[in-house]
Structure 1
């Protein structure tokens, strides 16, 4: 184990003390952890600066609000999967196409649920798969409904690389698709992540009205033409609205 790893492990030992103790003094941390005084002092100072711990007027340390934030993120992402799954099942049985659920993670989208048991031709997408926010309907629907400043910062920072024949590689075109998504309320993709496949996606919002996920209907490109697009879009939007409402979102 490297020195760096030892430091990380010791730091986690200190933080883990607060699982069983609501508050601890500096001396109590030393006694419970068995870590030298100088090391504990440095750790506590760093944790305080980062917001992991707060020191009260009584000189006792307690977990900081940052843990509440992380806890809320974990909770919301687990809950959204539980809430979305039965709605995804209903949508899948209605359209007989793959139904995907994704969330944003840093500057990428990650697939956290997929149902495709009734689909005759299976797609490459899988739970755990990542894609850039600009590529594919389900990823881009999250990007499209982020605040303008976040969208601009993201697009400024990336290089648009092709994945399939229909991948967006021009930033002006990307902005156009975002503007259209905000008008329509949904996104459409053809051969963006995988050739000859299409998807139609709708955004999912939380109780604060912020986009936190996307749900898509996806399949072979030939099935996503002309009148099929508004039909699939309506069903995706309806499913997204049901999930959003259960998360506390109101129009």
Structure 2
């Protein structure tokens, strides 16, 4: 291995080890753990410190990560494309369920479908990439609403109303808020023929690196295929996939 490549490898080994030390770490400890000479450790640390990737506590003389890394990671996270990052996981969910999978975002008080992946069990639905839908009667809409401030939820409903799409649509703000509370408790939302008769959906929210809800995914199928036992299985699968996408966007649950 060329010396330049070795130096880069050492730098990343040191960075990774420093990142694990909450209270910082010293040169001797690093040398022992990484099996490197102290002189090598000190030289690499000095270079990284000059570049802003490492900082040294003047009192303890221990090293910790610098804010330059935070700046870089913030730029990375802000540039992530939800649709592109989610696509492999949407396909994974289709492979697991063989049902229609949607990815949506909230825009001006409505959900917008930005991706739709179908399994072999195709169904007739109104959804199409680029279409908009109400938040109060869709699983994806409720999955997003549940993690917004109540004042914002009320403002959206004030503007768009609670138009009944089927006899099962929730048409009072009190019923909707109660349903959103259940969404937060179990981690997923249900659309029990509230938007389209004969169609049941289970949805889960997606969070970004700031902890804000930024999207939602769902599995949709004919109600006849959505019996209670399967619905519970699908809910767990949807939650697992939404967690993977959130992690990909930098979200870290407490």
Deviation at residue 142 of structure 1 after TM alignment: 0.6
Residues 165-187 of structure 1 deviation map (CA, whole Å, 9 limit, x = unaligned): 32221221111111100101110
* 1:215 match: 217
Deviation at residue 81 of structure 1 after TM alignment: 0.4
* 2:170 match: 168
* 2:111 match: 109
Instruction: Kindly indicate whether the alpha-carbon contact (under 8 Å) linking 1:198 and 1:221 is maintained by their aligned counterparts in 2.
Output: yes
TM-score, scaled relative to structure 1: 0.67
Instruction: Kindly indicate whether the alpha-carbon contact (under 8 Å) linking 1:93 and 1:118 is maintained by their aligned counterparts in 2.
Output: no
TM-score, scaled relative to structure 2: 0.66
Q: Is 2:118 the partner of 1:93?
A: no
Q: Is 2:220 the partner of 1:195?
A: no
Deviation at residue 190 of structure 1 after TM alignment: 1.6
Q: CA–CA distance in 2 between the matches of 1:192 and 1:117?
A: 23
Q: Which has the larger Rg? A: 2
Instruction: Kindly indicate whether the alpha-carbon contact (under 8 Å) linking 1:123 and 1:219 is maintained by their aligned counterparts in 2.
Output: no
* 1:83 match: 85
Deviation at residue 74 of structure 1 after TM alignment: 9.5
* 1:144 match: 146
Instruction: Kindly indicate whether the alpha-carbon contact (under 8 Å) linking 2:100 and 2:122 is maintained by their aligned counterparts in 1.
Output: no
Deviation at residue 72 of structure 1 after TM alignment: 10
Instruction: Kindly indicate whether the alpha-carbon contact (under 8 Å) linking 2:103 and 2:217 is maintained by their aligned counterparts in 1.
Output: yes
Q: 1:113 and 1:224, CA in 2 relative to 1: closer, same or farther beyond 3 A? A: same
* 2:236 match: 234
* 1:245 match: 247
Name the SS of the counterpart of 1:162 in structure 2.
coil
Instruction: Kindly indicate whether the alpha-carbon contact (under 8 Å) linking 2:77 and 2:250 is maintained by their aligned counterparts in 1.
Output: no
Q: CA–CA distance in 2 between the matches of 1:209 and 1:108?
A: 21
Q: CA–CA distance in 1 between the matches of 2:134 and 2:108?
A: 10
Residues 184-243 of structure 1 deviation map (CA, whole Å, 9 limit, x = unaligned): 111001222211001000000000000000000101011122111211110000000000
Name the SS of the counterpart of 2:233 in structure 1.
helix
Instruction: Kindly indicate whether the alpha-carbon contact (under 8 Å) linking 1:91 and 1:99 is maintained by their aligned counterparts in 2.
Output: yes
Superposition CA RMSD, Å: 2.0
Deviation at residue 112 of structure 1 after TM alignment: 0.2
Q: CA–CA distance in 1 between the matches of 2:194 and 2:131?
A: 15
Deviation at residue 145 of structure 1 after TM alignment: 0.9
Stretches of structure 1 that go unaligned for 5 or more consecutive residues are 1-70
Q: 1:73 and 1:165, CA in 2 relative to 1: closer, same or farther beyond 3 A? A: farther
Deviation at residue 140 of structure 1 after TM alignment: 1.3
Q: Is 2:193 the partner of 1:181?
A: no
